[in-house]
Amino acid sequence: MMSFEEFIEAVKENILSYLPEEFGGADVMIRKVIKNNDYPLTGLTVHQSQFGNTAPTIYLDSYYANYRSDGDMSRVLNDVARTIDVNTPRLNFNIDTIYDWENAKEKVFPKLNAVKDNEEYLRNKVYTPVEDLAVTYYVLVHEDVAGASTVTITNDIMKAYGITKEELHEKAFDNMRRMDPPKIENIMEKLSKVLPEEMVEEMPNEIPLYVLTNERNMFGAVGILDPQTMDAIKEKIGDQEYIAIPSSVHEFLLMSADEAAPPEIMAGLIHEVNQNEVAPEDRLSDHVYKVDPGRHLFMRADKDMEVEQHVEHKSIEQKQLDIMMQPNVHKRKIEQRGPRL
């Protein structure tokens, strides 16, 4: 059984033998990549110049786990080769166009990340802090039935654009609304698409839990910050406060605040699910959030509760003013362009 380092070297040395002839002479590179939550992965890139200057990065960590389970290196190499072949765009794309704002501006979208445990990942990225989260931005380079290729906007790319962060933020949210709008589904609607019909029929007709994601089901959690999404929440499931549970960077779960357990209990459950069920690079947060769609407000539920304890005897109007003015509670009212910069 090979060590991880030996496995990586074996993949690098042999992968071209498992790829179609059109990959002959391609450059094979291995590099460490820091993903969301500062999670390190080992990436393999096979770059064939005739396909342009872009190539997918295939992360080998999960393939090594497969290899350790049965020791079949040939099967692993076939799987890696198939993934590379399917995900390699056959188009002459010039990566330099990503640095050109006029070319990239219609392909820019937002994404939501945690700030904690993401210090390395965020170090050279353009981002807007919202509570203990960060809105980052990416360019959608290529998309087909096999998936999507994206490039996260770094400080260097932003410098080449020659625009302000506010302009980038506004354009990203505008593109999201037009081309990848958020969608809100009852959990039963979502389960009915993936579970056997007989299993769905045995479940309650209506579970008061909703899923917020987007049309692509990719990086859809960020939609919760958009006022138009909040209006849609109000219209679809009612004008009341909701608890927002960060399922992953791709989606939030919404439930009535009146039916939710205390934030500290829910946070413990979220942490357990994140550790055991969610891929490290897809984890968003262990915290619970509150959403008030009628007022376009998004906040940490525990911080909101702290403020409420101090102002419980005041009028509603005064409570709202006090909450907005609290220096230690990073609560943000979301304007029409998205979270204020």
DSSP 81-115: HHHHHHHS--S-B-GGGGG-HHHHGGGEEEEEEES
Q: Give the residue from 178, 206, 232 where a domain finishes.
A: 178
135 and 245 assigned to the same domain: no
174 and 189 assigned to the same domain: no
The pLDDT of residue 96 is above 90: no
What digits encode the pLDDT tens for the residues 183-210? 998 877 666 555 566 655 555 556 688 9
User: How would residue 149 be classed by pLDDT, with cut points 50, 70 and 90?
Assistant: confident
Rounded distance between C-alpha atoms, residue 81 and residue 18, angstroms: 6
CA proximity to 58, closest of 146, 163, 173: 146
What digits encode the pLDDT tens for the residues 211-241? 999 988 899 999 999 999 999 999 888 888 8
pLDDT at 31: 93
pLDDT above 70 covers a percentage of the chain that reads: 80
Beta bridge partners of 151: 139
Q: Give the residue from 65, 87, 109 where a domain finishes.
A: 87
What digits encode the pLDDT tens for the residues 289-315? 999 998 999 999 887 544 544 444 444
Q: Give the residue from 144, 178, 212 where a domain finishes.
A: 178
Structure tokens at 83: 């993934």
192 and 325 assigned to the same domain: yes
What digits encode the pLDDT tens for the residues 53-80? 678 889 999 999 999 998 999 999 999 9
314 and 226 assigned to the same domain: yes
Domain interval for residue 63: 4-87
Residue 133 and residue 115 in contact, taking contact as beta carbons nearer than 8 Å: yes
329: CB partners within 8 A, 6+ apart: 299, 300, 303, 304, 306, 307, 323
192 and 295 assigned to the same domain: yes
314 and 192 assigned to the same domain: yes
pLDDT at 33: 87
310 and 201 assigned to the same domain: yes
Mean pLDDT over residues 25-31, rounded?
92
Rounded distance between C-alpha atoms, residue 32 and residue 5, angstroms: 12
165 and 186 assigned to the same domain: no
| Average pLDDT over all residues of the chain | 82
pLDDT above 90 covers a percentage of the chain that reads: 45
User: How would residue 52 be classed by pLDDT, with cut points 50, 70 and 90?
Assistant: low
pLDDT at 93: 61
Q: What is the total count of domains within the chain? A: 3
pLDDT at 273: 85
163 and 244 assigned to the same domain: no
302 and 220 assigned to the same domain: yes
